[in-house]
Amino acid sequence: MFFPTSFSLGLLSAAVAVNAAIHDVQVGSSNGTLAYTPEAIFADVGDQVVFHFQQKNHTATQSSFANPCGAMPGGFDSGFNPVPANQTDNFPTYTITVNNTTPIWVFCDQAANTAASHCGAGMVFAVNCGADGSPNSFTNFKNAALAIGTELKAEAASVSAAAATAAPAAMTAAATEALTTAAYGDVTIPAAPSASLVTVTVTVEASQWTTVYSSYPGSPEATPASLTGNTYTVKVGNNGTLTYDPPFVMAQPRDTIVFEFHQKNHTATQSSFAAPCLPLASVNGSTPLNSGFMPVAANATSFPTWSVTVNTTDPLWFFCEQHAPDGSSHCGAGMVFAVNPVQTSARNFTAFENLAVALNGTNATNSGASTTSTSPSASPTNGASNLGTNVALILGSLFALAAGLL
């Protein structure tokens, strides 16, 4: 459907300044269409994209290929631009500048996460997407958004059906998903997705290489944003809260996650979806990620950091190992973090956070509150086989990627 015509990677910035173009994009229309027109463009570095907001109440919000209908942490957002039906000119505009050749993915945030989601109706836009037929084509992006819309509508329908028969909504929604049990505690969780090995040729800037990685429904691309990757800073325990801020990031291989530890004494410790508040066990000599405890004095003004380089497209799950003086765990209070959770799946970030609270919260029957001296290398005493399965899945593709990519 869409082919690059004037897509030039090699333009020098000096040349760009002279030739910088303005691309006008209509957002919605007088007849209420839920679309950006045109819906995909190619632009050179230095070009500007001007969004013209027509009738209704739309946004132009940056997302990512992996999560088409979710705001990208740190991305741009026009905010809502309500335009009454009888307004015929002086439409509000929002302008972005194209800073590099990395694809820019955009959606309308109106009615987010509801059956009426504009994004779920296909109201998405892209700058410098992959050509048709490539994994990150506009068609694939839009289809992913439409799939989210279909899911949201099905969810709404099953919720209202469940409400009508007075059955618990969660049961109905969960019935369509494969299930398994958590690695400890007595909680049913969505099963891990099945992955397939994919071989792709990756082109970044002037470099090209072949990589083999596990792909599963909703997994992000294996293509780094650039040779050095992007950097995401995550504040740990900002302002005394038991949180990671942002709570998750969508990252590509070679991106760096910088954990910045604020006051108190937190960790960023790798776990798994099925065992959210247990350090990931070492398998065949692998070293699961763990910052260790990072005590920060109350009067500190500079904060220690710990960095992780992403080298997989699989979700990575983290928690804080600390316990409060009353024995309750930070993890059970929902202090968890993720890289690349598949937000369109049942194993999304909210599900992970809820599971941590259910398994290790103060109300959990098996909260681990008494184990105040959990050692990072301790192996789980129960549910070991479930944990093992999960670990194998993650590490298998980690190794595959590490071998092909870095």
Q: Which residues bind ligand NAG (CB under 6 A)?
A: 29, 31, 33, 37, 57, 76, 80, 82, 84, 86-87, 96-97, 99, 104, 110, 151, 173, 184, 239, 265, 277-278, 283-284, 289, 293, 295, 297, 299-301, 308-312, 316, 321-322, 329, 331, 344-346, 348, 350-351, 354, 359-360, 363, 366, 368, 371, 374, 392, 395, 398, 402
CA 318, 256, 136, 49 dihedral sign is positive
316/386 Cα distance (integer angstroms): 17
Q: How far is the CB of 111 from ligand NAG (least distance, A)?
A: 6
Length of the chain: 406
> What residues pair up with 36 in beta bridges, in sequence order?
27
Q: Which residue is nearest to ligand NAG (CB)?
A: 368
C-alpha torsion angle, residues 151, 315, 39, 149 (rounded to 10): 10
Of 146 and 289, CB closest to ligand NAG: 289
Of 133 and 154, CB closest to ligand NAG: 154
Q: How far is the CB of 140 from ligand NAG (least distance, A)?
A: 18
239/237 Cα distance (integer angstroms): 6
Of 165 and 363, CB closest to ligand NAG: 363
The DSSP bridge pattern shows strands 61-63 and 124-127 to be: unpaired
Of 203 and 371, CB closest to ligand NAG: 371
Q: Which two tokens stand for residue 289?
A: 């990620």
Of 133 and 235, CB closest to ligand NAG: 235
292/65 Cα distance (integer angstroms): 33
Q: How far is the CB of 30 from ligand NAG (least distance, A)?
A: 7
Alpha-carbon distance values, 177 to 41, 42, 159, 172, 395 (Å) = 37, 39, 15, 10, 24
The Cβ-side half-sphere exposure at 116, using a 13 Å CA radius, reads 4
Of 171 and 210, CB closest to ligand NAG: 171
Q: Which two tokens stand for residue 53?
A: 């907001």
Of 166 and 297, CB closest to ligand NAG: 297
Cis upstream peptide for 341 (omega within 30°) = no
Q: How far is the CB of 133 from ligand NAG (least distance, A)?
A: 25
Q: How far is the CB of 137 from ligand NAG (least distance, A)?
A: 20
Q: How far is the CB of 68 from ligand NAG (least distance, A)?
A: 12
User: Residue 356: what residue type?
Assistant: A
Of 137 and 311, CB closest to ligand NAG: 311
Q: How far is the CB of 196 from ligand NAG (least distance, A)?
A: 18
98/363 Cα distance (integer angstroms): 49
Of 76 and 91, CB closest to ligand NAG: 76
> Nearest-CA neighbor of 91 among 61, 55, 41, 134?
55
Are the beta carbons of 233 and 255 closer than 8 angstroms? no
Q: How far is the CB of 166 from ligand NAG (least distance, A)?
A: 19
> Nearest-CA neighbor of 338 among 404, 394, 281?
394
Q: How far is the CB of 58 from ligand NAG (least distance, A)?
A: 9
Question: H helices within 109-248, ranges in order?
Answer: 138-164, 169-175
Q: How far is the CB of 246 from ligand NAG (least distance, A)?
A: 14
DSSP code of residue 62 = E
Of 51 and 133, CB closest to ligand NAG: 51
